[in-house]
């Protein structure tokens, strides 16, 4: 949410929940579609890893069940100058290894996040941070390179996790990627790659011990296998329930369905330019998608309404851009495109492809709701329209680590993006501002407007800028927006839990009725 310079103080008082049980009990098994690529909370831009981090680490601020920003490790905060935010910190908090949490922890954590030598994958959205000043043991000031209106919303993001300085200084990146230590409600036990990640309750947690003793995350990419595991009682919570199976879960005597409108949109991303592994622009993409007319032709070739109806059982919402109606920067005047095959063919011919063109679409399986099936449907429609599309499906870790993160996922790739800041900056910046880890698009005018919007504190001026950015994004066919996802979760009736709109799976919010 934007902040004006006239704001002198923003103080939020935290509620300290009283645990309903004297001690943690029982085991909860959660099935995500994929294994995270890392357990370093700062070295990724993916929800599966953020879900693990949310259970082991704390941030200065967080979003509650209603997605409002509330204090966590910070007791209050205020803007003291256009480029300085001050945070008052909780006293008496300790990390799981016994190190104290204080202003030095804040300084170490945030400066580690943006350290250019480390090249952490989660650093991009935090680039405006210049340094952190330790005022006293329980007061930290974050200095930014320019005014930054959404600093507080980023402090509620998982990549802004607070770390114990001594431990993370002593251990190398490879070690902490598999052996995390935070101040959160659960402690890391072990990670059996592609099988399970086991956590146990932190009974010394500063807010009180969690209700659940053991929390296990399992990766199950196949939808049918994930649903079967839920029906058989092997797991307690399952993400990404296929829409056509939702009624089975809802009517099952031992299960229930929990839904939430997602912050996530699904889209096809185009390579307009090629970037190297250091995220430097090496020139226009040599393939057909480097031509704006081909990208526009592809966008005109797909009937997204049909895909939502037939693949998602109607459980999706059309979008004109990657911003949902809850995002700052959303423009209701922009309407989703409709299929226009005649226009698509004209554009292809004008681009020098009167007989059609060959294309490759890369995508994951098990990460998003029916992601493989959606990609198959899009590829089929493109092929019928003369854009002969070869679909290649990849395991999630491979997809990110050897393709997306190193700019080798082109020419076209499917990704979902759900930023819990609900702000256009954290959509356009990480994915389309040139020089970012996931960006494969370049337009000098676009870059200039994104940079200007990032430091504009006036809400009206900032909104006007994002409306201009939206229109340029659509006109230049920077991507193919498909739909806003509706999140569907299945859970056993022994669980006390409900889904959140930001996709977070927090064990601290869970309890089991028959814990043993």
Query: What secondary structure does DSSP assign to 39-81, as a single string?
Result: S-TTS---HHHHHHHHHH---SEEE-TT--EEESSEEEEEEEE
On whether both 433 and 504 belong to a single domain, the answer is no
Note whether residue 9 is domain-resident. no
Mean pLDDT across 306-320: 96
Flag whether pLDDT at 19 surpasses 60. Answer: no
On whether both 292 and 205 belong to a single domain, the answer is no
On whether both 457 and 386 belong to a single domain, the answer is yes
Note whether residue 94 is domain-resident. yes
Q: What is d(CA 83, CA 86) in angstroms, rounded to the nearest whole number?
A: 10
> CA torsion 479→480→486→487, rounded to 10°?
-50
On whether both 212 and 336 belong to a single domain, the answer is no
On whether both 481 and 498 belong to a single domain, the answer is no
Output the pTM of the full model. 0.86
Average pLDDT, the chain: 94
Flag whether pLDDT at 472 surpasses 90. Answer: yes
Helix (H) or strand (E) holding 284: strand 281-284
CATH code of the domain in which 214 resides? 3.40.190.10
- The pLDDT of residue 149 is 96
Flag whether pLDDT at 360 surpasses 80. Answer: yes
Note whether residue 242 is domain-resident. no
Q: What is d(CA 498, CA 249) in angstroms, rounded to the nearest whole number?
A: 15
Flag whether pLDDT at 286 surpasses 90. Answer: yes
pLDDT (tens digit per residue) in 154-182: 999 999 999 999 999 999 999 999 999 99
Note whether residue 194 is domain-resident. yes
- The pLDDT of residue 420 is 86
On whether both 305 and 167 belong to a single domain, the answer is no
On whether both 58 and 108 belong to a single domain, the answer is yes
* Cis peptide bond prior to 411, omega within 30° of 0: yes
Flag whether pLDDT at 361 surpasses 60. Answer: yes
Flag whether pLDDT at 117 surpasses 80. Answer: yes
Flag whether pLDDT at 498 surpasses 50. Answer: yes
Instruction: Report helix, strand or coil for 336.
Output: coil
pLDDT (tens digit per residue) in 290-309: 999 999 999 999 999 999 99
Flag whether pLDDT at 428 surpasses 70. Answer: yes
Domain containing 285: what range?
262-486
Separation in Å, CA 60 to CA 52, 56, 91, 118, 226: 17, 14, 13, 22, 34
Q: What is d(CA 361, CA 46) in angstroms, rounded to the nearest whole number?
A: 20
CATH code of the domain in which 380 resides? 3.10.105.10
Note whether residue 234 is domain-resident. no
> CA torsion 323→325→327→328, rounded to 10°?
110
Note whether residue 17 is domain-resident. no
On whether both 271 and 183 belong to a single domain, the answer is no
DSSP state of 157: S
Flag whether pLDDT at 5 surpasses 50. Answer: no
Mean pLDDT across 4-14: 38
Mean pLDDT across 4-13: 38
Note whether residue 5 is domain-resident. no
Percent of the chain residues past pLDDT 70, beyond the cut: 95
Flag whether pLDDT at 10 surpasses 70. Answer: no
On whether both 445 and 499 belong to a single domain, the answer is no
- The pLDDT of residue 22 is 55
- The pLDDT of residue 21 is 44
Report the 10 Å Cβ neighbour count for 231. Answer: 18
Confidence band of 419 (pLDDT split at 50, 70, 90): confident
Label residues 487-507 b or e (16+ Cβ within 10 Å = b).
bbbbbbebbebebbbbbbbbb
Note whether residue 3 is domain-resident. no
Separation in Å, CA 478 to CA 77, 195, 443, 466, 475: 37, 37, 9, 15, 8
Domain total for the chain? 2
Confidence band of 261 (pLDDT split at 50, 70, 90): confident
Instruction: Report helix, strand or coil for 258.
Output: strand
On whether both 150 and 200 belong to a single domain, the answer is yes
Flag whether pLDDT at 206 surpasses 80. Answer: yes
On whether both 306 and 283 belong to a single domain, the answer is yes
Q: Which of 402, 404, 425, 407 lies closest to 416 in space, CA to CA?
A: 404
Q: What is d(CA 182, CA 163) in angstroms, rounded to the nearest whole number?
A: 6
On whether both 395 and 415 belong to a single domain, the answer is yes
């Amino acid at each position: 949410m934007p902040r004006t310079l006239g704001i002198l103080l923003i103080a939020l008082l935290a509620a300290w929940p009283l645990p309903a049980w004297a001690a943690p009990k029982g085991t909860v098994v959660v099935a995500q579609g994929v294994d995270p690529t890392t357990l370093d909370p700062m070295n990724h831009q993916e929800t599966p890893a953020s879900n693990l981090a949310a259970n082991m680490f704390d941030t200065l601020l967080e979003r509650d069940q209603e997605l409002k920003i509330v204090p966590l490790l910070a007791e209050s905060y205020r803007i003291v100058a256009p480029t300085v935010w001050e945070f008052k910190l909780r006293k008496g908090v300790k990390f799981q290894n016994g190190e104290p949490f204080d202003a030095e922890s804040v300084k170490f954590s945030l400066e580690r996040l943006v350290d250019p030598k480390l090249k952490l994958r989660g650093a991009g959205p935090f680039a405006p941070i210049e340094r952190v000043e330790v005022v006293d043991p329980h007061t930290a000031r974050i200095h930014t390179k320019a005014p930054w209106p959404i600093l507080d919303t980023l402090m509620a993001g998982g990549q802004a996790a607070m770390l114990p300085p001594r431990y993370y200084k002593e251990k190398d990146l490879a070690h902490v990627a598999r052996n995390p230590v935070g101040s959160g409600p659960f402690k890391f036990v072990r990670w059996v790659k592609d099988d399970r990640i086991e956590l146990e309750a932190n009974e010394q947690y500063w807010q009180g011990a969690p209700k659940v003793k053991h929390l296990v995350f399992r990766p199950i990419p196949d939808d049918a296998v994930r649903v079967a595991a839920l029906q058989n009682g092997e797991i307690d919570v399952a993400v990404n329930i296929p829409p056509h199976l939702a009624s089975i879960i809802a009517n099952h005597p031992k299960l229930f369905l929990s839904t939430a409108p997602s912050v996530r949109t699904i889209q096809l991303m185009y390579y307009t330019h090629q970037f190297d592994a250091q995220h430097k622009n090496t020139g226009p993409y040599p393939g057909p998608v480097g031509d704006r007319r081909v990208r526009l032709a592809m966008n005109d070739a797909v009937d997204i309404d049909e895909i939502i109806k037939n693949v998602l059982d109607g459980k999706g919402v059309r979008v004109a851009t990657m911003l949902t109606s809850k995002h700052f920067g959303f423009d209701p005047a922009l309407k989703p495109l409709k299929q226009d095959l005649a226009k698509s063919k004209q554009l292809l011919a004008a681009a020098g492809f009167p007989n059609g063109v060959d294309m490759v679409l890369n995508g994951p399986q098990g990460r998003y709701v029916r992601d493989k099936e959606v990609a198959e449907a899009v590829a089929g429609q493109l092929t019928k329209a003369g854009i002969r599309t070869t679909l290649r499906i990849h395991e999630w870790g491979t997809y990110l680590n050897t393709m997306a993160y190193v700019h080798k996922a082109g020419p076209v790739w499917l990704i979902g993006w759900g930023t819990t800041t609900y702000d256009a900056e954290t959509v356009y910046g990480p994915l389309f501002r040139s020089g970012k880890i996931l960006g494969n698009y370049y337009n000098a005018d676009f870059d200039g407007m994104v940079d200007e919007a990032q430091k504009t504190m006036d809400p009206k001026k900032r909104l006007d800028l994002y409306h201009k950015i939206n229109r340029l994004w659509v006109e230049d066919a920077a991507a193919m927006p498909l739909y806003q996802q509706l999140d569907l979760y299945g859970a056993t009736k022994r669980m006390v839990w409900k889904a959140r709109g930001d996709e977070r799976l927090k064990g601290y919010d869970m309890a089991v009725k028959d814990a043993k």
